[in-house]
Structure 1
Amino acid sequence: MRELPAFLQQAVERLLAFLAQDGCTDAQFDAMALELFALQYEHDEAYRRFCQRRGASPRRVQSWRDIPPVPISAFKDATLSCIPPPDCERIFMTSGTTRGDVKGRNHHPVMEVWDLSMRKHFEQRFLGAARRLPMATLFPSHEQLPNSSLARYLSNAVREYGTPGSRSFVDVQHGLDIAGLLDWLASAQAGGEPVAMLGASFSFVHVFDALGERRIPLPAGSLLLDTGGYKGQSRDVPLEDFYQRLSFAFGVPRERCINMYGMTELSSQFYDAGNAVVPSVKHAPHWVRTRVVDPLTGRDVARGKRGVLAHCDLANFNSATAILTEDVGVMVEGGGTPLTAPSPRGGEGDRERVVGEGDFHSAFLLLGRAEGAEAKGCSLAVQDFLEATRA
């Protein structure tokens, strides 16, 4: 690990251990969340001013739910970091499609935390029992796009879990190598062993267009992963049509067509268990919690009601753990079998719920982008943040 200021080094070491464990109690999550909130409050000036405007401080905040979430658009207008940006190992930038060349920035002092977050949840939710697979990615490599979190994600997947011959089929200068990809898929088909294809949704649309009515059924057990969104890089395709076409083109059951939901402003990803039915339920790892809120008030909406998603991602330790998105969703019951452990309060039969592999605390339906009153509420939240940081 690269050298960090002592205050940050200690927090990172504890956080790495927290991510590496198999689960956590709600009390353990709160303890880690409050520790990181205190760190950000002390060392992240822009965030501290925002919290002060909300009347939130380490003395007043009692739970992760009390931590003020930063609107994601604020990452375009303010520097959110506990250390100077030049001291960070990596700065991931957003695509800048909504406001021209204005890009959001998420600062990472070290990449160990981000990489561990990616690997652990990817293994749990995408790979499953498969430890390595031949992989084709439909996005440029991290070497070509060092400031892209998606490029890092897919490059990590190939490096850590791909077999020899796995590679990217998209180049920054030359675009999609459709001929090379089709040859790779044909070889995979002939080989008869499961493979994985991963990429941005708009890249898959370009492959659909190149295939036309042709199909290349992949071997049984193959997996497909798309990362959602089109960002003006291809024609938009409704979810139902997209997964129907994906399954048809490659002969992969929709239950094995996985969507990853993530964003530059976070350090962790969410996955579903396939898209036989859309929208599908997204699941978080044990170091993430999600609320569905009214962006005008910041309060949780009633369970089962739609609202704007607010995530508390402990892996986002340097900028802000709590993020208010511009995505609409509905909380649902999580999947898996609940795990239990003795409560730290003690007492026979006094058990506390543990969130671990197979039991994901934050499960929600992702319904799309905020519009109307919800979008207005998000805009007002951004305005409030900017007024606080400029005061």
Structure 2
Amino acid sequence: MQRLVERLLVFVGQEGCTDAEFDAMAAEVFAFQYEHGETFRRFCQRRGVTPRRVSGWRDIPAVPISGFKETTLSCMSPAECERVFMTSGTTRADVKGRNHHPTIELWDLSMRRNFAQRFMHTRERTPMLTLFPDEKELPNSSLARYLSLAARTFGTQGSRSWVSAKHGLVVDGFCDALKQAVERGESVAVLGATFSFVHLLDAMASRGLAFQLPPGSRLLDTGGYKGQARELPPDDFYDALARAFGVPRNLCINMYGMTELSSQFYDAGNAVVPSVKSGPHWIRTRVLDPLTGRERPPGERGVLAHCDLANFNSAVAILTEDMGVAVDGGFLLLGRVEGAEAKGCSLAVQEFLEAARP
């Protein structure tokens, strides 16, 4: 395992890769998972796929994302893993998906490299106000790790979270911090879960508060609403953010990620929605027909499947339950699957569970 991790650290750390280099690295990760992941191997065998038959990333069977809830997908013993990230359990509260990480080093590098390029751009550090509990409170949350790592790596002194698992959103303290930033003329970054921003917008409106943050300030939301009591259409949401914080919509960035992956996707702002999402050179995306597994051409709706080389211990390729369309530069995220696509995903899950049984 250590040799593979070292090779992946170099791969993620380089400036880019060719298609051939990505295919070769994907085949190497697949061979490792095929050898050491019993459940994954049986699934691949059922599909008639072995390392000898994989010449590139598109040949790797995508594990349905629900498989992370139904079985343990880990090449290493869970007891030997440094971190285990768990899903929020909003779909099935009694069952949480788990992604095991024997070492967190590669996950961290993936996050830092991508975040620096897609959110920080040329800045090394900026004051960060976070709208999600710290990872010390939620050690099994990949989002808590993501935001805490962002604040430690890229935030200035005093960057902190304004949400706690015990007490919730500290509205007055957060707003005081924004007021001080405005008075100093210091640009800031506000990062958090989408639903946290919705609660904050409501709290600010009830207090009659709005800010004109200094130029260069930017916002990052992630996670969607996930069954929260109040939802906003995307255009209304980003309009509300722009009004409340005085930040133009092109500096309101959305991050698309999930516990079952080890890398994230970003857009270049939400002046227009849906915005085009794209990832770093170590992750690739296909849009599939879940009934046939065939890739749909650009412009046609399908289910998103991601091949994330940083996800070396569980499943390098996963079939999500998110709808999307392939476009120039990336893909459009269109929400959760429904109708025929949802039925297709259910069948894919059933096939995986049948293959997973000894």
User: 5+ residue gaps in structure 1?
Assistant: 1-7, 335-362
Q: Give runs of aligned pairs for residues 199-278 of structure 1, distance below 5 A.
A: 199-212=192-205, 213-278=208-273
The yes-or-no answer on 1:332 pairing with 2:307 is: no
- TM-score when normalising by structure 2: 0.98
C-alpha distance in structure 1 between counterparts of 2:103 and 2:151, whole Å:
21
C-alpha distance in structure 2 between counterparts of 1:147 and 1:280, whole Å:
29
The yes-or-no answer on 1:192 pairing with 2:159 is: no
Counterpart of 1:317 in structure 2 is 312
C-alpha distance in structure 2 between counterparts of 1:255 and 1:246, whole Å:
11
By how many angstroms is 1:234 displaced? 4.2
C-alpha distance in structure 2 between counterparts of 1:84 and 1:234, whole Å:
39
Paired AA for residue 310 in structure 2: A
Instruction: Confirm or deny: 8 A CA contact 1:198 1:224 kept in the other structure.
Output: yes
Q: Give runs of aligned pairs for residues 1-391 of structure 1, distance below 5 A.
A: 8-212=1-205, 213-334=208-329, 363-391=330-358
- TM-score when normalising by structure 1: 0.90
Which string of whole-angstrom CA distances, capped at 9 and with x for unpartnered residues, describes residues 3-46 of structure 1? Answer: xxxxx000000000000000000110011000000000000000
C-alpha distance in structure 1 between counterparts of 2:298 and 2:274, whole Å:
18
SS of match in other structure, 1:297: coil
Q: How well do the aligned residues superpose, as a CA RMSD in angstroms?
A: 0.8
Which string of whole-angstrom CA distances, capped at 9 and with x for unpartnered residues, describes residues 211-242 of structure 1? Answer: 11531111111010000311234411111110
SS of match in other structure, 2:285: strand
User: 5+ residue gaps in structure 2?
Assistant: none
Counterpart of 1:348 in structure 2 is none
C-alpha distance in structure 2 between counterparts of 1:173 and 1:159, whole Å:
22
SS of match in other structure, 1:300: coil
C-alpha distance in structure 1 between counterparts of 2:13 and 2:186, whole Å:
31
C-alpha distance in structure 1 between counterparts of 2:55 and 2:22, whole Å:
12
C-alpha distance in structure 1 between counterparts of 2:94 and 2:245, whole Å:
36
Which string of whole-angstrom CA distances, capped at 9 and with x for unpartnered residues, describes residues 70-89 of structure 1? Answer: 00011001110111000000
Which string of whole-angstrom CA distances, capped at 9 and with x for unpartnered residues, describes residues 352-390 of structure 1? Answer: xxxxxxxxxxx1000111000011111110000000011
Instruction: Confirm or deny: 8 A CA contact 2:69 2:95 kept in the other structure.
Output: yes
Counterpart of 1:355 in structure 2 is none
C-alpha distance in structure 1 between counterparts of 2:71 and 2:232, whole Å:
34
